[in-house]
Structure 1
């Protein structure tokens, strides 16, 4: 085909793509539906013009369109990797992991259920071999929920629900294509009744193998991209090659799922990229991928739609009946998942509660699209597939896709409106009236000052002021007549706004380089969890979310295990340094939120709510400071190094701003400006390097800071430091089990623990000890002890503790005090204990 013709057709397609999006917005239809209609019209029109003699002048164009080299491998190897890769880059992966159960259910499990529902329903009515019927089921099981996602966003659906749908859109293509490859192999091999046992065993191997290939290739790519990080275009070019290399290596060399390999590569880059690539380059990279994905998504849809007239060739009445069977079976499978399995997961607390109206919207929004058509095209192209199977697969997949696009897609907004999902709830409606009244009041004050400043004529001001006053009076009346908002709800709404402001501040500090790119995504994830926790639990939910953002989490527990048991310290050092930096960044952000309460929340919700929010914010700040103090005690001097690094980075930002202002004012030329900016870039690269954290315990300093060892001389302290064993624990870790044998005494160097005693819980903090009572009474442990904060413990075995106790009056007094606090006669503890010897330079624990 002539290059001029191909270029002209491509230019025309891009013109269609550019006009289709505003048309879809104007007609209030999903973008994919408009593209499908345009593609069908173009394909059908080309076939009509070629077959009639009335339009011979258009025959060259019609022939060029009909002869476009559209093959299934174009969709699978060119467009699909781009779409999947871009979705992974735009995901908040850490938030997705919170909801991995419902995402996997809606994606993988739903695809498998739909495959077998459709396959067996078709098998009983069509007479086709079971392998061919299951192949049809795999082809039509993948949904394209992009339409319902965009509509959910437009109606302000819960973010968690939208995130689950986005996760489904990412995973179901991969699961469906893996099943397609599995059953396509059976059909081409002529196996009519496939072994389901073999399919069950091979399916996980395809998935896991693909993920490992993608992760490995992506890690190498990130390493190369970090080497060329100064060259932004080179970095972006490498990222463009990544999904294609992953797909080809997985499919052609290793023999596993290429789609899963692309997902693994994209998720790996999503996790590693922000911390290893410059922030501006990372932003540019994602912008480029957004554009590539928009083009790929539109082209794959419009090109697939061009094939619909060809795939429907030979349609008859019996085929319409089979299309109806496929449609009903696919909908029934989705009903089983949404209304059967999903509520069970909710009761088991493995999934968020999804209200019935949203489940109906998800059901009706399960549109099929270009991936289904591409897979059907792959079947029709294979010479190893029987002609009867080719014919039916093409017709059934295309007919079902048309039903979802033309029936479900065009009525989806109507369904959502009938379900009432496009309306504000009573609480939000009442709040909106008050927000409008407050905003208009502020606008009136601002406009009065503007009129005075510019000396506008009184008649002009009076005329506009009258119209504005009428609107303001209407807003105030509506606010007074709206449903009264309870104080409890006002507090919840205020906390949601406060958490949203915290998220905005994180983004602002990231742009100012006050928060490093390495941790910005993680801190934003904490802010998102805080917003959702507040929505679900009000004030208590806010406090739970705030404590979770300070806690170490499961990764820290695993790192502590590696450090305490296996002496592998690198993961703990990295996570502890990250935690230090996150705590300092959170303290910086919390200090700015009080002004937001006074300037914004107070005007809408009143003084009482604002004062309560100030108290809650003060409580958060106090808990954060306590955690920071514990970290400082564990690793003295490291917080100061991070604060110095923050000051250096802030100074560089101010310096860069001054040079930019001078350049804009014409005080310096472009050559001098570039020289100065390059110098700042070199100094910034040095300032960005985080100081290394030394995990070696400073036991001598920790002993000196404990009042229990205040009467020991320097030689005794040094010997005691050699005898003590340091142990780090995370929040919630169990330190002592009830009824266990007493072998050691624990001294709290930092943090806090809680003892579950028969008379009630008792908390101990820095400078206190536990475990000594059971040793002195020679009895099993009577209490269970858990850490209630990240804690550093100094552990001394029984023999050394007894020798130290004989020599230290201060330690004996500490034992007496702890026994008295627990209602135990101290004299029982010291029966047979020798009197303490006079303190001397040589006295020390053995």
Structure 2
């Protein structure tokens, strides 16, 4: 085939891609529907011009179009890894973990149910063997929810819903292709009725092997990226090779799922990349992959649509009934998951609530596309599949895809409008009014400065200022006096705005280099939770998300348990250093929010809401400071090292800004600028290295600084260090339950707890202890104790506490004081204990 003609066709396809996006916006149709329609028209036109006798002038073009090397392997080995890999890089994985139950249900369970539903429905209505019917079910079970995601975003749907749909789009291809591989094998070897249990038993092997392969390849790639840190183009080049090597390695070498390998590789890079690459390199890498995925997604749709006229070439009247069977079975299977299983999981409190209108939109938005056509094409290309099976697979998969694209896709916006999802909620309408009012106030101030700078005519300024002032007054009055905005809604709006500004501040700090990429990622995650918490549950949701942002996470608890039970300290050291840096980053961000509250929010919501938001912000700052103070006590000096590191990074950022300014002003040449930036990059790489944290040494220092152990010698302190275990508790965690007998004494290293007994409440803080009264009162049961702040406890068992009590006069005095506070005779508590000090 002429290379000039091929190049012209490829260039024309890119031109079509460029025109299709604005056309889809103008026609209010999903982008993929436009691409599919164009592809079908091109394919049908090529066939028409080859068969007609009207003209032969376009025959070379038609032959080139139909002769394009469109094979299933092109879709599966070239385009699909790109799409999957980019999807994983663009996801907020940590937020998706909050919704893993509905994601897995839609992406895996729904695919299995659809495969079985369509397969058995076809086996009852057609003469195909069960293996072929299940193969068709696997082919049509994968969805392309990109259209409904874009529509949900355009109508400001809840972020949680968008995350669920995005997670489904990432994983359902993997599940469907894995099932396709299983049943394709049965069809090729001629097994008409496969054992369903045996088939599904191979499923975990495909998943596990693919995940391990993808993880290993990604770790090697990340290691290489670490070596090439100063060469951004090299980093991007390694990332381009990563998904293809993972896919081919899993498919050809391991015999596992290549799709799962690509997903695992993308997830690994998504989690580890921000901490290993510079912020700008990570941003540029994701932008490159976004462009590659856009092109791949568009090309795969156009090229797959070109095949549709060919696949439907020998369709029969009886085939339409089977297409209807597939349509009904697939929609029924998806509806069963959405309207039966998901509500049940919500009732059992293992899944978030997904409202009925959104479930309906998800049902109708389950469009099929290029992956379905690619899998069907793979069946038609196989010489080991019977001819009738190939014919029906091509026709049924193509017919069902056309139904979803042309019927469901073209009517999706009407369904959205019918469900009322295209209308803003009252609180969102109120928010839009607040935005308009704040924006107009800012514009008025900027216009006033502009008129002064340019010395504009006073008459012109007066006329325009009057018109603009009337509009501004109307907007502010509408925002302030709207009857639809209740006081609690004003608070919610203020909290959403505050959390949104916090997110913008984090991004700004990240661009400036003030925040490490890894810490910025975690703080952005916390900001997203604040926004969603405020939107869903108002002040209570915001406060819950705020407490979660400073609480000890599951990984911190696991690391503490490993250190306490097995002496494995590296995990705890890493998590503790992460917590130090995270709290310092939060403090840096929170201190910028007060000005925003007093300036922007007060203009719209008034003083009362402003004071309440300022109070909530102060409590957040107090929680962060409490957490930092506890860590400083536990590991003295380490916070100062991190703060010095922050100052060094800030100084380097300012130095870079000065060099750039001098270069732009022509004060230094390109050679000098390049030399200065190279030296700056070396110093920045050194400043990025985080100081190490010595857990063991800091434990000894902490014990020595504890007032209750002040009179112990070095030998006794070392013995006590071996006996004590650390326990980390978050606010509202129960430390001791009232009904449980006490077996330990607890010393508060940082934080605070609340002790409740016999209707009385005591609050204990740093340096105090609890549990000793119950132990010394002969196994009495302790009151209920819960943490009221992030708290670090030192735990000592009964026997060691008795031995320590006999040797330490300071501890005996502390026991006396605690007994006197609770109205207990100290002599009764101490009994026959005599100090040996």
Q: Distance in 2 between matches of 1:735 and 1:78?
A: 55
Report the Cα offset of residue 441 of structure 1.
4.6
Equivalent position of 1:281 in the other structure? 281
Question: C-alpha offsets along residues 99-145 of structure 1, whole Å, 9 cap, x if unaligned?
Answer: 10000011111111111111111111112111111111111111100
Report the Cα offset of residue 736 of structure 1.
5.3
Report the Cα offset of residue 348 of structure 1.
2.0
Q: Distance in 1 between matches of 2:797 and 2:349?
A: 43
Q: Distance in 2 between matches of 1:473 and 1:539?
A: 29
Contact 1:634 1:697 in 2 (8 A): no
Is residue 2:737 matched to residue 1:725? no
Is residue 2:341 matched to residue 1:355? no
Structure 1 pair 218–445 and aligned structure 2 pair: CA distance change class (3 A): closer
Structure 1 pair 634–295 and aligned structure 2 pair: CA distance change class (3 A): same
SS in 1 for 2:58: helix
Q: State how 1:513-552 maps to structure 2 within 5 Å.
A: 513-552=513-552
Structure 1 pair 761–129 and aligned structure 2 pair: CA distance change class (3 A): farther
Report the Cα offset of residue 334 of structure 1.
1.2
Equivalent position of 1:397 in the other structure? 397
Q: Distance in 1 between matches of 2:699 and 2:439?
A: 58
Is residue 2:783 matched to residue 1:767? no
Equivalent position of 1:824 in the other structure? 824
Structure 1 pair 409–706 and aligned structure 2 pair: CA distance change class (3 A): same
Is residue 2:408 matched to residue 1:408? yes
Structure 2 length normalisation: TM-score? Answer: 0.96
Structure 1 pair 716–137 and aligned structure 2 pair: CA distance change class (3 A): closer
Q: State how 1:372-521 maps to structure 2 within 5 Å.
A: 372-457=372-457, 460-461=460-461, 464-465=464-465, 467-468=467-468, 471-472=471-472, 475=475, 478-479=478-479, 482-521=482-521
Q: Distance in 1 between matches of 2:722 and 2:192?
A: 73
Equivalent position of 1:603 in the other structure? 603
Report the Cα offset of residue 539 of structure 1.
1.2
SS in 1 for 2:608: helix
Report the more deviating stretch, 474-483 or 512-521: 474-483
Q: State how 1:552-571 maps to structure 2 within 5 Å.
A: 552-571=552-571
Q: State how 1:302-313 maps to structure 2 within 5 Å.
A: 302-313=302-313
Report the Cα offset of residue 414 of structure 1.
1.5
Equivalent position of 1:96 in the other structure? 96
Structure 1 pair 238–800 and aligned structure 2 pair: CA distance change class (3 A): closer
Contact 1:430 1:483 in 2 (8 A): no
Equivalent position of 2:205 in the other structure? 205
Q: Distance in 1 between matches of 2:49 and 2:807?
A: 105
Q: Distance in 2 between matches of 1:755 and 1:479?
A: 46
Equivalent position of 2:178 in the other structure? 178
SS in 2 for 1:49: helix
Q: Distance in 2 between matches of 1:134 and 1:683?
A: 60
Report the more deviating stretch, 162-171 or 713-722: 713-722
Equivalent position of 2:270 in the other structure? 270
Report the Cα offset of residue 730 of structure 1.
3.4
Equivalent position of 1:191 in the other structure? 191
Question: C-alpha offsets along residues 294-334 of structure 1, whole Å, 9 cap, x if unaligned?
Answer: 11101100000000000001122211111111111111111
Is residue 2:18 matched to residue 1:21? no
Structure 1 pair 405–700 and aligned structure 2 pair: CA distance change class (3 A): closer
Contact 1:699 1:721 in 2 (8 A): no
Report the Cα offset of residue 459 of structure 1.
5.5
Contact 1:740 1:780 in 2 (8 A): no
Report the Cα offset of residue 429 of structure 1.
2.0
Contact 1:747 1:768 in 2 (8 A): yes
Contact 2:771 2:782 in 1 (8 A): no
Question: C-alpha offsets along residues 31-59 of structure 1, whole Å, 9 cap, x if unaligned?
Answer: 10111011011111110111112221111
Q: Distance in 1 between matches of 2:271 and 2:463?
A: 57
Contact 1:338 1:363 in 2 (8 A): yes
Contact 1:737 1:781 in 2 (8 A): no
Structure 1 pair 583–248 and aligned structure 2 pair: CA distance change class (3 A): same
Equivalent position of 2:750 in the other structure? 750
Report the more deviating stretch, 431-440 or 287-296: 431-440
Equivalent position of 1:840 in the other structure? none
Report the Cα offset of residue 705 of structure 1.
3.4
Q: Distance in 2 between matches of 1:283 and 1:432?
A: 30
Structure 1 pair 194–706 and aligned structure 2 pair: CA distance change class (3 A): same
Q: Distance in 2 between matches of 1:481 and 1:812?
A: 64
Equivalent position of 2:632 in the other structure? 632
Equivalent position of 1:221 in the other structure? 221
Structure 1 pair 400–632 and aligned structure 2 pair: CA distance change class (3 A): same
Report the Cα offset of residue 338 of structure 1.
1.1
Contact 1:77 1:244 in 2 (8 A): yes
Report the more deviating stretch, 726-735 or 298-307: 726-735
Contact 1:519 1:582 in 2 (8 A): yes
Contact 2:136 2:397 in 1 (8 A): yes
Report the Cα offset of residue 531 of structure 1.
1.3
Equivalent position of 1:166 in the other structure? 166
Contact 2:749 2:792 in 1 (8 A): yes
Structure 1 length normalisation: TM-score? Answer: 0.95
SS in 1 for 2:696: coil
Question: C-alpha offsets along residues 619-647 of structure 1, whole Å, 9 cap, x if unaligned?
Answer: 11111101100000000000000000001
SS in 1 for 2:420: coil
SS in 2 for 1:748: strand
Q: Distance in 2 between matches of 1:445 and 1:290?
A: 38
Report the Cα offset of residue 480 of structure 1.
6.9
Q: State how 1:113-192 maps to structure 2 within 5 Å.
A: 113-192=113-192
Report the Cα offset of residue 481 of structure 1.
7.0
Report the Cα offset of residue 82 of structure 1.
0.5
Q: State how 1:626-775 maps to structure 2 within 5 Å.
A: 626-698=626-698, 701-710=701-710, 712=711, 718=717, 721=720, 724-731=723-730, 744-755=744-755, 757=757, 759=759, 762-775=762-775
Question: C-alpha offsets along residues 800-845 of structure 1, whole Å, 9 cap, x if unaligned?
Answer: 54455455544333212222333433332233334x46xxxxx4xx
Structure 1 pair 518–309 and aligned structure 2 pair: CA distance change class (3 A): same
Report the more deviating stretch, 768-777 or 454-463: 454-463
Structure 1 pair 637–821 and aligned structure 2 pair: CA distance change class (3 A): same
Structure 1: 5+ residue runs without aligned partners?
838-842
SS in 2 for 1:696: helix
Contact 1:427 1:483 in 2 (8 A): no
Contact 2:727 2:795 in 1 (8 A): no
Question: C-alpha offsets along residues 585-615 of structure 1, whole Å, 9 cap, x if unaligned?
Answer: 1001000000011111111111110111111
Report the Cα offset of residue 280 of structure 1.
1.9
Report the Cα offset of residue 787 of structure 1.
5.0
Structure 1 pair 722–618 and aligned structure 2 pair: CA distance change class (3 A): closer
Structure 1 pair 391–649 and aligned structure 2 pair: CA distance change class (3 A): same
Equivalent position of 2:342 in the other structure? 342
Report the Cα offset of residue 707 of structure 1.
3.4
Tell me how many residue pairs correspond in the alignment: 836
Report the more deviating stretch, 633-642 or 454-463: 454-463
Report the Cα offset of residue 775 of structure 1.
3.4
Q: Distance in 2 between matches of 1:722 and 1:468?
A: 71
Report the Cα offset of residue 704 of structure 1.
4.6
Q: Distance in 2 between matches of 1:794 and 1:74?
A: 61
Question: C-alpha offsets along residues 741-773 of structure 1, whole Å, 9 cap, x if unaligned?
Answer: 766533322233444545456442211122322
Report the more deviating stretch, 276-285 or 150-159: 276-285
